[in-house]
Amino acid sequence: MGEKLRVTQKIRVGTGDFVELDNVSVYFQIRKGLLKRIFVVRALENINIAIGEHSVLVIVGESGCGKSTLGRVVAGLQPPSHGRLLFRGKDVRSLKGREYREFRRSIQLVHQDPYSSLNPTKTVFDILYSPLKYWGYVKNKDEALEKILELLESVKVTPPEEYIFRYPHQLSGGEKQRIALARALSVKPRFIVADEVISAIDVSLRIDLMNLMIDFWRKYGIGYLFITHELASARYFAELTGGIIAVMYLGRVVEAAPPRKLIFNPLHPYTKALIAATPELLMDLSELRKKKPLPLKSVDIPSATKYIPGCKFNTRCPFADRRCLDEEPMLREVEPGHYVACHKVL
C-alpha cells in the first residue's frame, strides 16, 4: 500500500516560481552481468522542489545518489521519466521558440570535470566566443574581444591579455574551472547548476572559487543549484547565500533545511551519520564533542539496481523497524522550512 502512495511535500527554496520540479522521477535501463539482463536504475524518485529567483539550493550526498541527474533535469538536459519540469510556472515541454530559448539561456550548467568540458583544440577566446555569437551578444570576433577580456576579468583570470589565446592544457585546474564559469556567465544566465565544480581543484583554491560564485549571487542575483559531496562546502555555500541544503540518498531527498538547522539539529539518521563522518572544520569543537558517532549497520551503499522495499536507508539504519522495511517514508515538513523523510521522526 505505502509503496504506491507517494506524496512528498514540495521543498520551497526562496519565493516565486523560477524553476520547479513537480514529482520528477528519472529511470535508466541498464544491461548487467553475463546474460546482459535489463535492470532499472531509479536515479531520481518523486522529487518536488520549487526554487525562486536569486535563491540557492545546495545538494549533498554520496556518489551515485542522483545529484548530477537532478542537475541535468533542472538544466533541461535530462527529460524526466515521470513528472514535470516547470520554468516560470510553465511546463518546459510546452515551451516553444523564444520562450524555450529563454529557458535554455537562463539556466546554465557548469560540469564537474573541467578537463573534459573544455574543448582542448580551442583557445580561451574561441571557447567564450561560441556562446556569445550563438546567443547574439556579438556579431563578430572584433566585437567579442572586449567582452571576453571583461569576462576573464570578472572571473579573476588576470591579466586577461595573458590568458585569452591559451589552450586548456596551458591552464591550471582552477583556471579551467573559472573559464567554464565564464562561459556559463557569458550568456547572462539567471541560474547556474554547479555540479561538483570544486571537486577537481586544489583544496586551497576551493574557497576562492566558492567566494567568486557567491559574489555573482550578491552582485547579479544569480541563483544556484550547488552540488557537492562534502557537507563542509555545502554548509559554507548555503550559509553565505541564505540557501537550503538538501541531503540525497538513493534518488530521494531524505532531509532539507537551512544549514544551521541541518547541522546542529539533524533529524534523519543518514544526515546524522554524514555529520559524524565530517571532520572538525564543520563545527565548533564544543558542539562536536557532544555528538556521538552513529553506528550504521553497514557502511556500503546498496547497488543502484537493487530493489529495497520500504525506506531505502533501512539496510544501514540502526533504528529500522518493521514499518521501515514495509513502507517508504515520504518527505514532509516537520517544522517550518525543515523537511525529513523518516518514520522515526514525529
Ligand X SMILES: Nc1ncnc2c1ncn2[C@@H]1O[C@H](COP(=O)(O)OP(=O)(O)OP(=O)(O)O)[C@@H](O)[C@H]1O
Binding stretches for ligand X (CB under 6 A):
28, 30, 41, 43, 61, 63-69, 229, 304
Closest to 341 measured CA to CA, from 6, 40, 25, 1: 6
- How many CA atoms are closer than 13 Å to the CA of 314, on its beta-carbon side? 19
The distance of closest approach from Cβ of residue 169 to ligand X in the complex, given in angstroms and rounded to an integer, is: 24
Q: Which three cell numbers stand for residue 120?
A: 582542448
Q: Which of 68, 78, 228, 315 binds Mg ion (CB under 5 A)?
A: 68
The distance of closest approach from Cβ of residue 188 to ligand X in the complex, given in angstroms and rounded to an integer, is: 27
- Secondary structure class of 64 (helix, strand, coil): coil
Binding at 64: pick from Mg ion, ligand X, none (beta carbon under 5-8 Å per type): ligand X
Give yes or no for a contact between 236 and 207, defined as CB atoms under 8 angstroms apart: yes
Task: Indicate the residue among 85 and 151 with the shorter CB distance to ligand X.
Answer: 85
- The size of the interface with Mg ion (CB under 5 A), counted in residues, is 2
Task: Indicate the residue among 127 and 245 with the shorter CB distance to ligand X.
Answer: 245
The distance of closest approach from Cβ of residue 338 to Mg ion in the complex, given in angstroms and rounded to an integer, is: 26
Task: Indicate the residue among 161 and 300 with the shorter CB distance to ligand X.
Answer: 300
Distance spanning both ends of the chain, measured CA to CA: 21
Task: Indicate the residue among 65 and 107 with the shorter CB distance to ligand X.
Answer: 65
Binding at 341: pick from Mg ion, ligand X, none (beta carbon under 5-8 Å per type): none
Task: Indicate the residue among 16 and 302 with the shorter CB distance to ligand X.
Answer: 302
Give yes or no for a contact between 40 and 305, defined as CB atoms under 8 angstroms apart: yes
- Secondary structure class of 102 (helix, strand, coil): helix
Phi first, then psi, for residue 113 (nearest 5°) are -115, 100
Binding at 16: pick from ligand X, Mg ion, none (beta carbon under 5-8 Å per type): none
Site string for Mg ion, 48-67 (x = CB under 5 A): -------------------x
The distance of closest approach from Cβ of residue 242 to ligand X in the complex, given in angstroms and rounded to an integer, is: 24
Nearest residue to Mg ion on Cβ basis: 68
If phi > 0 it is left, if psi is from -120 to 50 it is alpha, else beta; for residue 111 that is beta
Task: Indicate the residue among 43 and 342 with the shorter CB distance to ligand X.
Answer: 43
Binding at 30: pick from Mg ion, ligand X, none (beta carbon under 5-8 Å per type): ligand X
Closest to 110 measured CA to CA, from 173, 55, 182: 182
Closest to 225 measured CA to CA, from 175, 190, 262: 190
The distance of closest approach from Cβ of residue 229 to Mg ion in the complex, given in angstroms and rounded to an integer, is: 8
Task: Indicate the residue among 67 and 190 with the shorter CB distance to Mg ion.
Answer: 67
Give yes or no for a contact between 11 and 48, defined as CB atoms under 8 angstroms apart: yes
Give yes or no for a contact between 231 and 283, defined as CB atoms under 8 angstroms apart: no
Binding at 223: pick from Mg ion, ligand X, none (beta carbon under 5-8 Å per type): none
Rounded to whole angstroms, the Cα distance separating 265 from 272 reads 9
Which residues in this chain contact Mg ion in the complex, by CB under 5 A? 67-68
